């Protein structure tokens, strides 16, 4: 079941009560409620998936899979165990982590070489040696990121790829500030050690 962006007159839900009510209606197969939930949460959840996968195209694929789970599993949501957004974030995060673990993410991240573009020297564009160096570096970074815990990987990605500060990450992940600081510090330390072991050093 894919959510559509139609019905622009439908105002997106913003509160936990709104989202919980929409999930209850989705459990009854209410497509209009599903559209509203999608419009209210897709932007935030796409950020969660992107933080894990580090590529928007893959994150969008995971997001669609996650919403299929929401459509089929809304009846299983228990407001006594988690807020609606926390429940949705967990679905998306688990989907993204599964994608990394199966190796599909690494295969999808392979950069095809444009032979025509590389045949013409352009001082403003990376040359073949630079392309190779960048690809090797990205491979090392991806491998080292995969070695972090899911929480550390998310926190590090939000901090270094999206430029968020600790307080913003804590709000984004709905996690205590002290926990987020620990995730970023330990994740960054492990990432640095892994890259140094692979022979990658900062300039």
Specify the CATH number for 1-110; select among 1.10.10.10, 1.10.3720.10, 1.10.1740.10, 1.10.3470.10: 1.10.1740.10
pLDDT tens, 51-104? Answer: 888 888 888 999 999 999 999 999 999 988 889 999 999 999 988 888 877 654
Q: 112-149, pLDDT tens digit by residue?
A: 434 443 333 344 444 444 444 555 566 667 778 778 88
Span(s) in the chain for CATH 1.10.10.10: 112-203
Q: How far apart are CA 77 and CA 96, in angstroms?
A: 20
Supply the DSSP string of 82-136, one letter for each residue.
S-HHHHHHHHHHHHHHHHHHHTHHHHHT-----HHHHTS--TTS--HHHHHHHHH
For residue 178, pLDDT over 80 is answered with: yes
pLDDT at 201: 59
Q: What is the pLDDT of residues 71-80, one digit of tens each?
A: 999 999 998 8
Range with lowest mean pLDDT among 34-43, 93-102, 181-190:
93-102
Q: Give the CA distances from residue 80 to residues 20, 29, 87, 94, 179, in Å, rounded to whole numbers and listed in that order.
A: 11, 22, 11, 20, 23
What pLDDT score was predicted for residue 9?
A: 32
pTM of the predicted model over 0.75:
no
User: Which segments of the chain belong to CATH 1.10.1740.10?
Assistant: 1-110
4 band by pLDDT with thresholds 50, 70 and 90: very low
Rounded Cα distance between 32 and 4, Å, is 10
CATH architecture for the domain at 112-203: Orthogonal Bundle (1.10)
Report the half-sphere exposure of 86 (CA within 13 A, side-chain side): 11
pLDDT value at 177 more than 80: yes
Q: What is the pLDDT of residue 150?
A: 82
């Amino acid at each position: 079941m894919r959510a559509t962006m139609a019905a622009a007159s439908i105002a997106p839900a913003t509160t936990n009560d709104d989202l919980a009510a929409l999930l209850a209606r989705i459990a009854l197969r209410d497509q209009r409620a599903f559209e509203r939930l999608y419009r209210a949460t897709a932007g935030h959840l796409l950020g969660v998936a992107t933080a894990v996968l580090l590529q928007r195209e893959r994150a969008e694929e995971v997001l669609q899979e996650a919403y299929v789970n929401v459509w089929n599993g809304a009846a299983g949501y228990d407001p006594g165990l988690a807020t609606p957004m926390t429940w949705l974030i967990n679905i998306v995060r688990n989907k993204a982590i599964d994608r990394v673990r199966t190796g599909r993410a690494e295969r999808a991240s392979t950069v095809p070489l444009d032979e025509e573009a590389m045949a013409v020297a352009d001082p403003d564009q990376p040359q073949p040696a630079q392309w190779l160096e960048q690809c090797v570096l990205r491979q090392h970074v991806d491998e080292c990121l995969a070695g972090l815990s899911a929480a550390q990987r998310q926190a590090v990605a939000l901090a270094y790829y999206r430029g968020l500060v600790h307080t913003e990450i804590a709000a984004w992940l709905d996690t205590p500030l002290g926990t987020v600081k620990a995730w970023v510090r330990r994740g960054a330390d492990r990432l640095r050690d892994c890259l140094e072991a692979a022979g990658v050093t900062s300039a």
